[in-house]
A and B are shown apart, each in its own frame.
Chain A
Amino acid sequence: TQLLEQSPQFLSIQEGENLTVYCNSSSVFSSLQWYRQEPGEGPVLLVTVVTGGEVKKLKRLTFQFGDARKDSSLHITAAQPGDTGLYLCAGVPGNQFYFGTGTSLTVIP
């Protein structure tokens, strides 16, 4: 059983389309993070959200933390081929750091 469930698991879209990736849990998190991982490399931190209801923007990426701090979403506007990669959410519900199952995004030119 995964503590953090991400959906969808795979996503293939055309350049210019919008998309949303979800990260859900039954546990409350003190903070949630989103990472992007490219093939052959380690994950790279994109953002950390801390407050319930918080919204953060990183260029065309919008991150939201749920009001109850149990879920988060990542929205990408006008996706580009450079957005291709594995997107992972992660957080600390107790004293260990857990990662979600990941969403593999492919943006087709």
Chain B
Amino acid sequence: NAGVTQTPKFQVLKTGQSMTLQCAQDMNHEYMSWYRQDPGMGLRLIHYSVGAGITDQGEVPNGYNVSRSTTEDFPLRLLSAAPSQTSVYFCASSYSGGHYGYTFGSGTRLTVV
């Protein structure tokens, strides 16, 4: 089982550039989420989805867009990258909204210069 697959693993962007972080899961999980992890801040929720076609904002949604056209895929789009978006991004999926645990991808380390 692949679990949750994130690509790319590393990325460097220039300020103002846009890009899409890919996330795919093969466990047929309805719930998927994007988190960013910064030193001393723990994991903060960016956007989440409770099923195909349904998305909602988390704690820190500004500057990011998501869509969920299939159960398997949940891409995260950075519209115009800023240095404040330098972070490690994690995608996670769950069977039941997290009550029984999330499965995480291995992360994307993004640097915006």
Contact = CB atoms under 8 A, between A and B. Distances in A.
Interface of A: 2, 4, 9, 30-31, 33, 40-45, 48, 88, 90, 92, 95-102
Contact of A96 (B41, B48, B99): B48
Contacts, number: 58
B105 A101 contact: no
Contacts of A31: 99
B90 to A, nearest CB: 5
A44 B92 CA distance: 11
Given A42-B92, A42-B105, A42-B106, A99 B35 contact: yes
Interface residues of B, number: 25
Interface of B: 4, 33, 35, 40-45, 48, 58-59, 90, 92, 97-107
B106 A41 contact: yes
B102 A97 contact: yes
A96 B35 CA distance: 12
B101 A33 contact: yes
Contacts of A2: 42
Contacts of A100: 42
A5 B102 CA distance: 20
B92 A101 contact: no
